[in-house]
Amino acid sequence: MDQTFVIAVIAFAAGALIAGLLVRAHVHARHAGADAERELLRERIADLETSREADHELAGVLAPLREGLGRVERQVGQLERDRVDQFSRIDQQLSAVVTSGEALRQQTASLAGALRSSNVRGTWGEAQLRRVVEAAGMLARVDFTEQPSATGPGGNVLRPDLVVHLPGGKNLVVDAKAPLAAFLDAAAAQSPEREGLLSAHAKALRGHVDVLAAREYWAAFAPTPEMVVCFVPGDAILAAALDADGSLYEHAMSARVVLASPATLLAVLRTCAYTWQQDALAGNARELFDVGRELYARLSTLGSHTAKLGRTLQRGVEDYNALVGTLERRVLVTARRMNDLDLTGTVIQAPEPVETTPRTLTSVELLDDHRAAG
């Protein structure tokens, strides 16, 4: 039994030793784990402190960016409000343009409809002609006459729209024609119908040329160049006819008819106005020449009178000096003897002779010899 007890004690001691070793190993392991965890926590704390410092630095760096983003956001908001306002105004302007375009379309349609009437076309052509004449700076009833009447070679009464007066009593006849029916139809038509309408427009203008050529205005309003100006009151109207009929211009020239658009007629009338100016300048030059000759003759007469006055003054000076000499030699000698006899206390001073003589004329225009030679 004692042996069993010893073994049990030994076993208990061994177990206690083993348990102690196990507990110590466990405690040591927990200490090692705690140390590792403490090191990890210390590193984590250091990382957090480093991250916080970096966050502060980043916040300092990002602060200007945040302010800039705020300004940009405010500007974007303002731009957006301006954009909305501008689009609103643009929409209003577009509405106004649409309205005015519609009104213009209606007025154009009304005008096109009105111009289809021959009376309206004639009135419009005469109004265009009057505008060109006014733009050229000509005066009514002075530089031109509107719708004068004259008798033609066949006894018929001719009445052109305008007769431009030229220097020397000459005239230039202008007649306005506005064939528009086919031209207006062509403007609204599509090819190939448009080409046919333009050909009809050119044919109508050719017919007007033949009518003007048959009237022979140059015989009724002589003296005048043997031609008549056919005024077409629109450059596009004339250009369309010439494009459709390439021989129209040559045909008009052979018939003594000059086709003229507003630009061409303005150049012709400006040339006529310039001719009047040059004629007036020539008349003024002739009058100035006559006035100059008369002034020159009068200057010669004035020189003659001036020379005569100078000679008269010269004789007056000589007579005066002779009188002074006689006074000194004849009169004052006896008068001074009275002073010597104490009959008077006043001394008579002798007058001074005149030494200055009149200036002699030297200009050849004022000399008698030059005038006699002229």
Residue 352 structure tokens = 């001074």
State pTM to two decimals: 0.47
Both 139 and 181 in one domain: the answer is: yes
Both 161 and 60 in one domain: the answer is: no
Residue 287 structure tokens = 């009058």
What are the φ/ψ torsions at residue 227 (nearest 5 degrees)? -165, 165
Domain assignment of residue 211, yes or no: yes
Half-sphere exposure of residue 55: CA atoms within 13 angstroms, side-chain side:
6
The DSSP result for 309-333, as a single string, is HHHHHHHHHHHHHHHHHHIIIIIHH
Taking the alpha carbons at both ends of the chain, their separation in whole angstroms is 194
Task: For residue 293, give the nearest of 303, 285, 304 by alpha carbon.
Answer: 285
Domain assignment of residue 225, yes or no: yes
Domain assignment of residue 277, yes or no: no
pLDDT at 87: 81
- Each of the 374 residues of the chain gets a pLDDT tens digit; together they read 456 655 666 766 676 667 767 767 766 677 677 777 777 777 777 777 777 777 677 666 667 777 777 787 888 888 888 888 888 888 888 888 887 777 776 665 555 554 555 556 667 777 888 888 888 877 665 577 888 888 877 778 888 888 888 877 788 888 887 777 777 777 777 777 888 888 888 898 898 899 888 888 888 888 888 889 998 888 888 888 888 888 998 999 999 998 988 888 888 888 887 777 776 676 666 777 677 777 777 777 777 777 788 778 888 878 877 877 777 777 767 767 766 666 666 666 666 777 677 766 666 665 654 444 44
d(CA 116, CA 226): 32
| pLDDT, tens only, 259-279 | 988 888 888 888 887 777 776
Domain assignment of residue 166, yes or no: yes
Both 75 and 145 in one domain: the answer is: no
Domain that residue 316 falls in: 282-373
Domain assignment of residue 276, yes or no: no
Both 254 and 295 in one domain: the answer is: no
Both 89 and 128 in one domain: the answer is: no
pLDDT at 254: 92
d(CA 163, CA 272): 12
Both 188 and 299 in one domain: the answer is: no
Both 155 and 194 in one domain: the answer is: yes
Task: For residue 198, give the nearest of 213, 186, 207, 188 by alpha carbon.
Answer: 186
Domain assignment of residue 163, yes or no: yes
- Partnered with residue 151 across adjacent β-strands are 157
Domain assignment of residue 243, yes or no: yes
Domain assignment of residue 99, yes or no: no
Rg of the chain over Cα atoms, rounded to whole angstroms, equals 61
Both 125 and 229 in one domain: the answer is: yes
Both 187 and 293 in one domain: the answer is: no
Number of domains in the chain: 3
Both 143 and 255 in one domain: the answer is: yes
Q: CATH number of the domain that 245 lies in?
A: 3.40.1350
Both 128 and 210 in one domain: the answer is: yes
